Structure 1
Amino acid sequence: MADTQDTLKHTPLFDLHVELGARMVPFAGYEMPVQYPMGVKKEHLHTREQAGLFDVSHMGQVKLSGPNAAAALEKLVPVDIIDLPVGKQRYALFTNDNGGIMDDLMVTNYGDWIYVVVNAACKEQDIAHLQAHLGDDVALEVMDDRALVAIQGPAAATAVSRLAPEVAEMVFMDSRAIVIDGVECLVSRSGYTGEDGFEISIPSAEADRLCRLFLEQPEIEAIGLGARDSLRLESGLCLYGHDIDNSTTPLEGSLIWAISKCRRADGERAGGFPGADLILSQIANKDWTRKRVGLLGEGRAPVREGTELFDADGNKIGEVTSGTFGPTVGKPVAMGYVATAFSALDTQVYADVRGKKLPMTVSRMPFIEQRYYRG
């Protein structure tokens, strides 16, 4: 059944978005801001040049506690959770028995509990998956009384540190509980734009007030989902359900870096996650047939998701999974899957856009320089 205006959920910042003149659209069961009066391109460029505030409260926030929480979660992901340092965050993947990716997620060790953030469209499935497999000695709490916002851009640290000076000491993937204007928040120095910045979990009752304080900072503007998508694409970051899904293995998705060394065939805690045999075999034998690649176009015509890709002889070799015109790059940028024979850098392929074969070049991702703050 299609979402209707009456069935869509609202985040704690809904009234603020409407007040700011956002154009609201259905997204993952929520009514979300796709853009504000500034427009997608200007919002994108403002984030690259200053700082933007994104409402990502539709994401799922989960608390896992109990002495075996890390070990239990590690059985569901090809990632080192047991040795994740306190106060650090890590990117992870839920895999299925066929080696496909059920979702990608962020995991943080807060010492006596683990904080997990999952994608909005997958959160019901992911929470059920956790409940079914974690075991009785792990307590799972869905943190549905919290908002989540991202403040991203080169001026993010300057702006946020006026309200929370401690954030200036953090580096990329650090996480801390920090009191901001009397409110205890969970803050990580991370994000989904390729820029420096923070993701901040705020009690729902205080979210509107705190976000108004953030927006009072001269560097920060409210930014919608449209610019969030073009920013993450320029940074070569996957969107679940588009660039990776249940049928994609981490190797096909160019995410071998997300499989911790200790979980690989020669590691001390090798395997033990769903689909491990297939995934570890792909690593050992380099036997996957398609690969996610970056694609740079010529001219200005964007090459959209679903566009078929061909070789010089007119044979279909793949498909675009995300594509737009990159405002920072100044060219059409895309990612998609091609047969591995065509996945080498600088290979020319052709995108079929309304019957025209537009040349694209297999290119390194990210398309822009990532500016995460590493100290």
Structure 2
Amino acid sequence: MMLAPDQDSLKRTPLHDLHVSLGGKMVPFAGYDMPVQYPAGVLKEHLHTRTSAGLFDVSHMGQIALRPKSGKVEDAARALERLVPQDIVAIAPGRQRYAQFTNADGGILDDLMVANFGDHLFLVVNAACKAEDEAHLRAHLSDDCVIDSLADRALVAVQGPKAESALAKFCAEAPAMKFMDAGPHKVAGLDCFVSRSGYTGEDGFEISVPAADAERLAKTLLENPDVLPIGLGARDSLRLEAGLCLYGHDIDTATTPVEAALEWSVQKSRRIGGARAGGFPGAEKILAHFDQGAGRRRVGLRAEGRAPVREGALLFADATSAAPIGTVTSGGFGPSLNAPVAMGYVPTALGALGTSLFAEVRGQRLPLTVAAMPFVKNTYKR
């Protein structure tokens, strides 16, 4: 039997004391003691983010600087392209891009964000994978780059339609930033790294701040009545409505980017002819999936009725067949839709929009329909 982690053995982010003081319900997550919700509750936190602005502590994520030994950021970008299927060289200074570390079988070791800060690359990786990611980078890129783990920095996100106005009071450049702009900026007089991005489907910003200043920055932002603290529960339901993958659930080491419906993230320069096509781990399998298709695919699912279909539920082609054809990887109730939503993997032949499927929930077969994602229209500032 697996025992829950001892609360005392969990790591704490620089905002831990603030979470407790705000009434956060603390739970173990990726080795950290994190707030799953505050007194307002998950539903209100979710809807507040969609209509106003929410403040999220994402300091458990890993932050890594990739500094080229040559002094040329293009050399760091070319080095990183040996580990990811994305075009990193094409990321302009002041911009960032979504990427994946892949393995020799084409599976995803982790997904990450890569920003070009002009003289080096700035990476944000998942909390549960950050030690392995850093070791992976050191094992393969140390000849070309200095890999600097930025463990002395916290990371907060401000998400929602009022995120811009909330941040603009303390960062004059914020309103001019577009989706996926990223770089060093002053926020409330602090030296921060700011990107116009997030994982809710809403417009918003992620702010990397020195750990010693994180609580002061968070309190400053929370003085705005439009901004409420938001826990992991609402963060998960927001990203599910946005149709965004959660590593270890919707994507993992046995899932290729094509199976995961992430083809959009792999630029043509890395997959169609030219000197820089391929050359990343698992390229043969991933490029074969691009050319010939994959046998399965991640799809959105809408359930009839109000019963949520949770992760792990088996999927069936009809109400009576004995053999499952897929599995739900993320599922729950979508507060913005007032209806259940889910994602899962099905044979590609059954992945067309409108296809009728069934999920097994508590011994019953519930009807589902393959649906377009995102479930809630995103509001990124392009």
The TM tier, using the shorter chain, reads over 0.9
Kindly provide the amino acid, as one letter, of the partner of residue 132 in structure 1. A
Q: Does 1:237 align with 2:241?
A: no
Q: Does 1:371 align with 2:373?
A: no
Q: What is the TM-score with the length of structure 1 in the denominator?
A: 0.98
Equivalent in the alignment of 1:94: 101
Deviations 1:336-373 (A, max 9, x none): 00111211100010010101111010000000110001
Report the Cα offset of residue 135 of structure 1: 3.0
**RMSD value, Cα:** 1.0
C-alpha distance in 2, partners of 1:329/1:268?
46
Q: Does 1:194 align with 2:201?
A: yes
Q: Does 1:55 align with 2:57?
A: yes
Report the Cα offset of residue 207 of structure 1: 0.4
C-alpha distance in 2, partners of 1:323/1:2?
23
C-alpha distance in 2, partners of 1:265/1:98?
20
Kindly provide the amino acid, as one letter, of the partner of residue 229 in structure 1. D
Unaligned runs of 5+ in 1: none
Identity %: 61
C-alpha distance in 1, partners of 2:111/2:275?
24
Whether the 8 Å contact between 1:146 and 1:202 is mirrored in structure 2 is yes
Deviations 1:252-286 (A, max 9, x none): 11111111110003344100000001111111112
1:18 pairs, out of 5, 17, 20, with 20
Report the Cα offset of residue 2 of structure 1: 5.0
Report the Cα offset of residue 317 of structure 1: 0.9
1:246 pairs, out of 239, 249, 253, with 253
Equivalent in the alignment of 1:221: 228
Kindly provide the amino acid, as one letter, of the partner of residue 129 in structure 1. H
The secondary structure found in structure 1 opposite 2:178 is coil
Equivalent in the alignment of 1:35: 37
Whether the 8 Å contact between 1:72 and 1:135 is mirrored in structure 2 is no
2:337 pairs, out of 309, 329, 333, with 329
Report the Cα offset of residue 176 of structure 1: 2.2
Report the Cα offset of residue 189 of structure 1: 0.2
Deviations 1:131-150 (A, max 9, x none): 00003231011000000001
Deviations 1:152-205 (A, max 9, x none): 000000111011121000000001211112211000000000000000000001
Kindly provide the amino acid, as one letter, of the partner of residue 243 in structure 1. D
Equivalent in the alignment of 1:45: 47
1:306 pairs, out of 307, 312, 316, with 312
The secondary structure found in structure 2 opposite 1:357 is strand
The secondary structure found in structure 1 opposite 2:28 is strand
Report the Cα offset of residue 44 of structure 1: 0.2
C-alpha distance in 2, partners of 1:181/1:195?
23
Q: Does 1:77 align with 2:90?
A: no
Deviations 1:288-308 (A, max 9, x none): 211100000111111000000
The secondary structure found in structure 2 opposite 1:316 is coil
Q: Does 1:256 align with 2:258?
A: no
Q: Which runs of 4+ in 1 moved over 6 A?
A: none
Whether the 8 Å contact between 2:356 and 2:368 is mirrored in structure 1 is yes
Whether the 8 Å contact between 2:79 and 2:144 is mirrored in structure 1 is no
Kindly provide the amino acid, as one letter, of the partner of residue 302 in structure 1. P
Equivalent in the alignment of 2:186: 179
Structure 1 window deviating more from structure 2 (143-152 vs 173-182): it is 173-182
Equivalent in the alignment of 2:127: 120
Q: What is the TM-score with the length of structure 2 in the denominator?
A: 0.96
The secondary structure found in structure 1 opposite 2:169 is helix
Aligned length: 373
C-alpha distance in 1, partners of 2:90/2:245?
25
Q: Does 1:348 align with 2:356?
A: yes
C-alpha distance in 2, partners of 1:304/1:339?
19
Equivalent in the alignment of 2:281: 274
Structure 1 window deviating more from structure 2 (309-318 vs 124-133): it is 309-318
Equivalent in the alignment of 2:326: 318
C-alpha distance in 1, partners of 2:87/2:62?
21
C-alpha distance in 1, partners of 2:100/2:40?
35
C-alpha distance in 2, partners of 1:351/1:159?
42
C-alpha distance in 2, partners of 1:190/1:230?
17
Unaligned runs of 5+ in 2: none
